[in-house]
Amino acid sequence: MTKTTSVVAAALIAISTQAENLRITFGAEKDLASSAGTPTQNKDIAKPRIHVQGLENGCSLDVQFSVAATGGKPARMGMGYRLDEGYALTFRIESAVVSYADGKTESVSGRFISVAGNNQAGKFTTDNQGKSITLKSTTKGNNRIRNIVAEFDLAVTGSAAPVVQKATPKPAAPAKPKPAAAPPVVKTESLKLPRLFCDHMILQQQTKNTFWGWAKPGEAITVKASWGAEASAKAGSNGRWKLLLETPKYGTGHSLTIRGAKDTIKIKNVAIGEVWLCAGQSNMGWAMGNCFETEQDPDVNLPNLRIFKSAREHWHEPLAVQRDRLSQWKPCNPDSAAETSAVSYWFAKKLHQELGIPVGIIQQAFAGTPIEGWMPWELQKDDPRAQAHKALLDASAERQVGSGTTEQKALAEFKKLLAEYNAKIDVGETMKNSVKPLAPPIITKPATLGHQYPAHMFNAMINPMIPYGIRGMIWYQGERNSKDVPQAFHYRNQLAQLISYYRTTWHEQSGGNIAADFPFQFTQLPSWTPPQTDPVEGLSAPWAVNRESMMEVARKVPNTGMAVSIDTGDATALHPKNKKPIGLRHAAVALKQTYGKDFATSPLFKRKTVDGRKIILEFDSVGSGLMAAKPGKLDTFAIAGADQVWHWAEAKIEGNTVVVSSSKVRKPVAVRYAWAMNPSQRNLLYNKVGMPVSPFRTDDWPLFDPDAEIVTVKKPAKPEKKTETDWERPAMMQ
């Protein structure tokens, strides 16, 4: 058998890549994928089974595995298998059976080609036949390998050969995935629509919505709606067509008919209402089912709340169609809600309740991704920090090149060469522990580092969505761009740039029907790392600086809003389970700013007045007044004189102001509030409807010396058998 190298999202090393093979990745439901057909997976930890339907000639496939752990039972989390220090997991193919349309069955052979986890240390071995594969953890301390996925090929030959769709070999570089027919993709022989256009979809109300798709060049296309609107277009030389269809006021039970020269597609159960795009890192994607039990909602049967969730995708060039074959609109019910972003869900449900109309959310989240990955490269190519980020990734790929490198040697060398890079990017987010033997010197089509690469999430996840009709957008990202203070400070420039580009692009490509300043909201970072003990944390608190970056964008960029989350988070977990307050605060921002409702948002620092030995602080959005989170003194304020030495301050609420002083500062000039990585356990300041005040500073002193050594935040060790608990906070009275 000829040995080749294949780079795929979950692969370490691919040994056999015959055109007849069906490739399947399993181990975590969200990463489940196959090169043809639609795979599903049972939830048995020790005996998982994968069923693939929708193969050619009416065939389906069933593969039975066994999973055993040396040193204990197989441990599986909601995101995949988990492997503790010194343990090993062995995956074995027990059987693989093809079922034909006539009822006959046939056994087929298969072999494992890879196993991968997150960025913790591990090594794998496989038997000679590839029937089993073992991953052994070499982690130290409290580290674990998480999110483990295994990939295997089924060598389908003989009478079973027609089961899989043949791929076009491309020896010079990894082959671009070929979209396979799957239920969510609405298409006929000559007419195809993006995955956003399917049953249960929701359209933005009272505007001209952009419809697009593909047909034969020159073919006339007509879209007719049950509410009476109709529009036509002709496919261009590349087969793409585009038109505008007007929508009325909100409603449900509608349908759409898309008709070409020969073929017709009908879309049923269409709703019209408010549509919001929700994008960002893993905390945006953190599912309802993984939150605290107290945040589980017993009332999730909401047929007029519609959810579109995309898989995590990245690609080296802009895509016109999502590669994710399973994306589709779903009405909200116990199954769809459990896997939906908790922040997005609580935001959408609150809008749905308060406005009394259908609401749709488009969830686009990818763990561990920097903001650079969510913007086109052309937009940031002149940014020195983006250039340095890209150069570091390119250099890491270049150092992988080696003639005749064996898989195990390449893995060891790859881990060694990426140590410096990983030290800069590992802030606890997901990154696969994988290697690309004989990779090109520049990551033109990266797999392992692709979700770190500039533009890659924009290319694969955002570009295919433009210009679908939306009212606004929610953004929850920034952890990955807050490794150090200079990086966190620069984030204010990048976020403003991203907002401007998204708005301009959606506006222009929608023919001006999506507002050029559509509402854009973002989540200020929560608390993380051990609780605050010093009055002010300096270079050790890049998250405090990132919070300021977001507040500056909220102040300076029109029609933006910020959900303050300083009273959520966890001292060790980067993915806190208290997402409900964030979603509800985003809803309050939207209800006030976008929909004109009487809702309060978080107070922001407005101005200071120095009065002798006191500083008086004023705020916006105070509402009916200010209050402390709990009885006792406000102990989160720090005060300094011209010497820039910070001291804990005495702080008192007087009306709608806070008066700050210290016996140690005779001539105060500046105040900082909650200026730390994790000030959540102190007595925080709120308005009387339960919205927390944003952390702030009144000074403009430099936050870092550009010539000094950079201090990076360290991921705190997680105590053994730690149980995460939610923190007490004032109830939101709206």
Euclidean distance between CA atoms 525 and 235, whole angstroms? 45
44 CB neighbour count, 10 Å cutoff? 14
Question: 3-state DSSP call for residue 496?
Answer: helix
Q: Which amino acid is at 434?
A: S
Which CA distances in Å does 61 have to 38, 51, 54, 542, 712? 10, 6, 9, 50, 49
On the 0-12 / 13-18 / 19+ scale of CB atoms within 10 A, 135 is: buried
Query: What parts of the chain have a pLDDT lower than 50?
Result: 1-20, 78-79, 119, 156-185, 400-415, 417, 420-421, 423-448
- Paired tokens of 696: 């702030």
pLDDT of 410 reads 39
Residue 188 is which amino acid?
Answer: T
Predicted pLDDT of residue 169: 34
Q: What is the pTM of this model?
A: 0.73
Helix (H) or strand (E) run with residue 505 in it = helix 485-509
Interior/surface letters 237-250, b for 16+ CB within 10 angstroms, e for the rest: eeeebebbbebeeb
Q: CA–CA separation, 430 vs 423, rounded Å?
A: 14
Token digits of residue 286: 């953190």
Whose CA is closest to 316, among 446, 192, 416?
Answer: 446
Amino acid occupying residue 458: F
Beta bridge partners of residue 444, listed in sequence order = none
Please write the tens of the pLDDT for every residue from 132-167: 778 777 766 556 666 677 776 775 444 334 344 333
Q: Tokens representing 161?
A: 């050969």
Distance CA 399, CA 432 (A): 18
| The pair of three-digit structure tokens given for residue 723, joined into one six-digit string | 């149980």
10 Å Cβ neighbour count for 456?
26
Q: Single out the residue of 288, 456, 435, 277 nearest to residue 371, CA to CA.
A: 456
For residues 604 and 556, give the distance between their C-alpha atoms in angstroms, rounded to a whole number: 13
Determine which helix (DSSP H) or strand (DSSP E) holds 224, and give its type and residue range: strand 220-225
- With beta carbons less than 8 A apart as the criterion, state whether 729 and 690 touch: yes
Domain spans of the chain, in order of start? 22-163, 377-454, 604-697
Residue-by-residue DSSP string for 265-288: EEEEEEEEEEEEEEEESHHHH-BG
Rounded distance between C-alpha atoms, residue 3 and residue 16, angstroms: 6
Burial class (CB in 10 A: 0-12, 13-18, 19+), 630: exposed
Answer yes or no: are the C-beta atoms of 152 and 92 closer than 8 Å: no
- Give every CB contact of residue 414 below 8 A, 6+ residues apart in sequence: 400, 435, 436
Residue 204, pLDDT score: 99
Nearest to 698 by CA among 557, 604, 567, 627: 604
Is 123 buried (19+), middle (13-18) or exposed (0-12) by CB count in 10 A? middle
Report the C-alpha dihedral over residues 34, 40, 45, 49, rounded to 10 degrees: -80
